[in-house]
Chains A and B, each alone.
Chain A
Amino acid sequence: MILLIITFLIIVIGFSLFLASHSYKFKKELNKYTPAKYGFDFQEIKIPTKNNKILYGWWVPTENPNNKNKPTIILVHGWSRNVDRTMSYIKKLHPAGYNLLVFDSRCHGRSDDDKFSSMVKFMEDIRAAIDYSEKLPNVDTSRIGVLGLSIGGAASLYAASLDNRIKSVVTLGAFSHPKKVMGDEFKKKKIPYFPFIWLVFKYMEFRIGAKFNDIAPSKNIAKIDASIFLIHGIDDATVPIKQADELYQAGNPDKVKLWKVEGKGHSDCNHHPEFWDNVLEFYKTTL
């Protein structure tokens, strides 16, 4: 009987560990292009992180004939992506007069590997990018914005709740709570919450060194001083639209704006014809 129980526990724990380590596994993809594709001047940069890893990135300064300090927007890609993902954003934001700082998060693209990637590491990388930007010429350090995609958006919200240097945040397809977005994924695969998913979550919390409730954007959004623009595709199958509603409801109504984009999913809101008018207007008034 004891042997049976031990065997059962080994199977449950083993399967849960397998899920935790394989469900979000991806292969590093390297960027194929640079802002030079659009004829923009840029520099390749190396941003140090708090644990002495190096992030690969681009500094794309705005044209600055008057040599005045300009607002800066930090662009944050999503899970398993790299700086290539931000090219269409660079193309529109650069001519609008913003300095841009783009980077590959740890374990992504050309940046250093780490033991694992997580929303917390994305958040730390955003703050490392802000530290780096403050040393660059012609940066108005009182006007730092962030634009984050998916987990990059969730991490941007978490970063803004900890770092009041961030004045303006735009998110696309950000999730409200890590447990909800991962729970939905496991539900799709028909994996029962108890004991498997419960164990996966416990293991992940142990690994990242934080409780999901402490880092969840929905638990932190009310603390954010920055202006926030949540953009979310109504047809998003990865992060359902109800998570955008939860974020919006948890935030300060004077600070948070939500645009539910009709006919768009998780990764294509920027294809909506009104997307750039809305985003540029938001940054113009908040940054």
Chain B
Amino acid sequence: MLKINKLLILPILAMFLFNSCDDYCEFQFSEEFFPLEIGNTWIYSDYENIASYEKWEIVDTMIDAGIEKYQMVNSNLDGNIVAKGFFYFIGKKLYSTYPFYSEWEGKEHLLANFSLNKGDTYNLDIDDFRVIIISKKQNSITFGYMPNYTWRDFPDLWLTFEKGKGITEYHYHWSPGKVTLTDYLLY
């Protein structure tokens, strides 16, 4: 009798676990929040000014210690390179060497941890920075970044990742004139 009950309970329990996934199932596939593939291109602009046009393109890939790392090149309207950096995933964590802050130049940092929830924080190993998860919805997650200095209680940099698109907007000091994704091409 006991054995029969177990056989009945286990599938019911499994069904319950599947159903409980709901909103955050998508977050199991963290790569969807930043599709890294050679040729993928994003075009951003400040919605009020075309001069702020910026292109981000994944131009190369390399294997380092068994991890596939993707090189992103950020250029402006004239084609001049603004910045370069590598991005790669380990599980639900997105690491980067991209210098969103000038101080981050070349330094590897945990740019985004997609397993965290709204209000969670973590410290970056570099330059005494902390990151706070500002919002988490079914298809998007926003991270805020700020140095751990006295009198800093508000992020300087915000990044929003959207499922299937990558980074769809970023603010750097000048919100609400944020830089937004205006076009993208994924291979």
For residue A124, CB closer than 8 A to chain B, the reply is no
For residue B35, CB closer than 8 A to chain A, the reply is no
For residue B11, CB closer than 8 A to chain A, the reply is no
Within the assembled complex, what's the spacing in Å between the Cα atoms of A265 and B172? Answer: 17
Q: Contact between A29 and B102 (Cβ–Cβ < 8 Å)?
A: yes
For residue B115, CB closer than 8 A to chain A, the reply is no
Give the contact-size bracket for chain B: 20 to 34
Question: Smallest distance from the beta carbon of A171 to chain B beta carbons, Å?
Answer: 14
Q: Contact between B151 and A238 (Cβ–Cβ < 8 Å)?
A: yes
Q: Contact between B153 and A265 (Cβ–Cβ < 8 Å)?
A: yes
- Neighbouring B residues of A266 by C-beta, 8 Å: 151, 153-154
For residue B150, CB closer than 8 A to chain A, the reply is yes
Main DSSP-derived SS at the B contact region:
loop
Tell me the A72-104 residues at the B interface (CB within 8 Å). 78-80, 84-85, 87-88, 91
Q: Contact between A78 and B151 (Cβ–Cβ < 8 Å)?
A: yes
- Evaluate whether A38 and B154 lie within 8 angstroms (CB atoms) in the complex, with A26-B147, A79-B149, A88-B174 already known: no
- Evaluate whether A24 and B150 lie within 8 angstroms (CB atoms) in the complex, with A29-B102, A30-B102, A33-B172 already known: yes
Question: Smallest distance from the beta carbon of B123 to chain A beta carbons, Å?
Answer: 15
Question: Smallest distance from the beta carbon of A76 to chain B beta carbons, Å?
Answer: 14
Q: Contact between B173 and A85 (Cβ–Cβ < 8 Å)?
A: yes
Q: How many residues of A contact B (CB 8 A)?
A: 32
Q: Contact between B101 and A29 (Cβ–Cβ < 8 Å)?
A: yes
- Neighbouring A residues of B176 by C-beta, 8 Å: 88, 271
- Neighbouring A residues of B151 by C-beta, 8 Å: 78-80, 150-151, 238, 266
Question: Smallest distance from the beta carbon of B152 to chain A beta carbons, Å?
Answer: 7
For residue B14, CB closer than 8 A to chain A, the reply is no
Q: Contact between A88 and B149 (Cβ–Cβ < 8 Å)?
A: no
- Neighbouring B residues of A26 by C-beta, 8 Å: 147, 149-150
Q: Contact between B177 and A88 (Cβ–Cβ < 8 Å)?
A: yes
For residue A267, CB closer than 8 A to chain B, the reply is yes
Within the assembled complex, what's the spacing in Å between the Cα atoms of A37 and B101? Answer: 16
Question: Smallest distance from the beta carbon of B134 to chain A beta carbons, Å?
Answer: 12
- Neighbouring A residues of B117 by C-beta, 8 Å: none
- Give B contacts to A, CB under 8 Å: 46, 48-49, 51-52, 101-103, 127-128, 147, 149-154, 156, 172-177
List of 3 A-B pairs having minimum Cβ-Cβ separation, nearest first: A267-B154, A88-B174, A39-B51
